Amino acid sequence: MQIDGKSRLIGLMGNPVEHTLSPVIHNEISRQMNISSVYMPFRVENDLVENAVRGAYALNVLGLNVTVPHKNAVMDYLVDVDDAAMHIGSVNTLVRDEGKQGYKGYNTDMLGLQRQIHDYGISLSGQTVVVIGAGGAAKAVVYMCLLEGANKVYILNRTLSKADEIVRAMSLVKQIHSSTSIIALNITDVSAIKEDSVIAFQATSIGLYPNVNEVAIDSPAFYEKVKTGVDLIYTPANTMFMKLVREHGGRAYNSLKMLLYQGVAAYELWHNITVPQDIVENIYDTLQQKVYTNYVLIGFMGSGKTTFGKALAKELGMDFLDTDEYIEKKEGKSIPQIFDAHGESGFREIETQTLHQLKGHIHNTVIATGGGMPLRDENRVLLKEIGTVCYLTATSEEIYDRIKDDTNRPLLQTDNPYERICTMMYDRKPHYLAACDKIIDTGSNDVKKIIEEIVG
Ligand code: NAP
């Protein structure tokens, strides 16, 4: 994409903005559609919101996204506000209006969530919906429920007065759009929900990384009712709320797509275009790779790839995959049987095929690899393409101690396994070093410390 005299500036105002994913979304759309506009984040202090809006207009900025904490405050400095944003009471997108010499405000969070649920085939029409939370995002969810014709909406919140406030704010919308009944409840009052089958939206900040094991409602009786659960959180990819919904037989989704679609909706408003779906899907893949990095654990057998890998996955709310188990399942044979049938080189070939299958299709996962995986040049490249590669190390004595009683290791079936371990570790070390991004000593067996080193 070329920047020239006709290029346009778009961007984000908020505080902080340093960790935003929005530049990825917008600059990728511009690049893939060959549109010369550039997206920049701007950190704006609370007392400078008005200056920022007026300054942006003066500088011919095409449009802006607005994020925390300015989504309400910015409304005072706009020449117009779209109906939905007015009812929701927050604006996250400013669109330049040359006629009125200023910006019109929209709420594309709501549009983003609406597109996400349509993508997932979720219909709210005639349904009972439970919204957990009563902040800005919950208000957008309730508004969407009215537009989509839900039959009844329960709003459950820790602070009941905020749920009551949403009921009041939506009464005008109800007069115009729907006959949906809305009921405010205290978050502990789940027994007041009488329906057996509901669609639930988790719109609190509970469960966000790093507090991945927390959940706003933990009553099993509640999850029995949830046939579909949508968590507005997208990190971790599988929140505790989603896990509980699935454990009780429901389907569950995170809201990374909502983030993407709110950006797409803003881009479409600014440029007066429709972004083709194949480009949206490309960008979703890019986002998933950025947000849901994999950790790939390599190292000699007994270095702790499975033990520490499982602990890491649990701590971070990630999935866990063991390549040996994956191969055994795929081939329908145990590792010793594969060695017997195809020899070591045949097994290494299957490992390479496995990495090709996983690449690009696995996200948010801790992957424990077989000890010989990095021996092939091709595998070392693939491992780095799949995720952050951590080489787990321990001394030969520690390794021997950990695996001496394990009979499922074909390469150790010799008279002197300790000597074999020493030789193999010596031979393999250069390959591990060439394959890795980080070296982690697991000799301490201190799970917390090892996890910190892997993530840090
Ligand atoms: P907000 O306005 O600050 O509201 C926070 C909500 O969480 C309130 O209902 C609050 O209850 C509740 N809450 C916080 N801590 C709690 C606790 N310890 N116990 C019980 N309830 C608690 O935030 P928001 O803007 O609505 O955002 C809510 C969530 O949606 C966030 O996790 C955010 O990341 C997510 N979100 C996602 C997207 C997306 O694109 N995917 C977009 C927007 C928001 P009280 O009222 O009692 O304080």
The pLDDT of 116-135, averaged and rounded, is 97
22 contacts 41 by C-beta, under 8 angstroms: yes
pLDDT digits (tens, 9 = 90+) for 203-242: 999 998 778 889 999 999 999 999 999 999 998 888 999 9
Please report, as a single letter, which amino acid is at residue 104.
Answer: K
pLDDT of residue 407: 72
pLDDT of residue 176: 64
* Ligand 1 atom at minimal distance to the Cα of residue 255: 41
Residues sharing a CB contact under 8 Å with residue 446, sequence separation 6 or more, in sequence order: none
Q: What strands lie across the sheet with 152-157, from one edge to the other?
A: 181-186, 152-157, 128-132, 198-202, 226-231, 251-253
Hunting for tokens 């600014």 — which residue is that? 270
For residue 137, report the distance from its CA to the centre of ligand 1, in Å.
7
CA distance 87 to 94: 16
Among 71, 225, 243, 257, the one annotated catalytic: 71
pLDDT of residue 456: 77
312 contacts 368 by C-beta, under 8 angstroms: no
Pocket residue to mutate for ligand 1, from 108, 110, 158, most atoms within 8 A of Cβ: 158
pLDDT of residue 19: 86
The pLDDT of 108-129, averaged and rounded, is 97
Residue nearest to atom 17 of ligand 1 (CA): 206
Q: For residue 163, is pLDDT > 90?
A: yes
* Ligand 1 atom at minimal distance to the Cα of residue 132: 9
Q: How deeply is 428 buried, as exposed, middle or buried, from its count of CB atoms within 10 A (0-12, 13-18, 19+)? A: middle
Where do the CATH 3.40.50.720 domains begin and end in the chain? 111-254
CA distance 172 to 86: 11
For residue 157, report the distance from its CA to the centre of ligand 1, in Å.
10
Higher model confidence: residue 19 or residue 426?
426
pLDDT of residue 370: 93
Q: For residue 77, is pLDDT > 80?
A: yes
- Share the mean pLDDT of the chain: 94
70 contacts 42 by C-beta, under 8 angstroms: no
CA 331, 337, 342, 348 torsion-angle sign: positive
pLDDT of residue 405: 82
Where do the CATH 3.40.50.10860 domains begin and end in the chain? 8-106+259-290
pLDDT of residue 177: 61
CA distance 401 to 56: 65
User: Strand, helix or coil at 367?
Assistant: strand
pLDDT digits (tens, 9 = 90+) for 376-421: 999 999 999 999 999 999 999 999 988 888 777 766 777 788 998 9
Chain CA centroid to CA 349, Å: 32
Fold classified for 8-106+259-290: Rossmann fold (3.40.50)
- pTM score of the predicted model: 0.81
The pLDDT of 168-190, averaged and rounded, is 87
Provide the CATH number for the domain formed by 111-254 in this structure: 3.40.50.720
The pLDDT of 63-79, averaged and rounded, is 97
16 contacts 70 by C-beta, under 8 angstroms: no
The pLDDT of 309-321, averaged and rounded, is 91
Active site residue 330: no
Where do the CATH 3.40.50.300 domains begin and end in the chain? 293-455
CA distance 105 to 85: 7
Q: How far apart are the first and last CA of the chain?
A: 35
pLDDT digits (tens, 9 = 90+) for 2-13: 899 999 999 999
* Domain 293-455 coded CATH 3.20.20.80: no
pLDDT of residue 410: 65
Per DSSP, 15 falls in state S
Q: Which residues line ligand 1 (CB under 6 A)?
A: 109, 133-138, 157-159, 162, 203-206, 208, 216, 232-234, 255, 258-259, 262
* Ligand 1 atom at minimal distance to the Cα of residue 68: 25
CA 40, 41, 45, 46 torsion-angle sign: positive
pLDDT digits (tens, 9 = 90+) for 346-383: 999 999 999 999 987 888 899 999 999 999 999 999 99
pLDDT of residue 235: 87
Q: Count CB neighbours of 210 within 10 A.
A: 12
pLDDT digits (tens, 9 = 90+) for 25-66: 999 999 999 999 999 999 999 999 999 999 999 999 999 999
Q: For residue 433, is pLDDT > 90?
A: yes
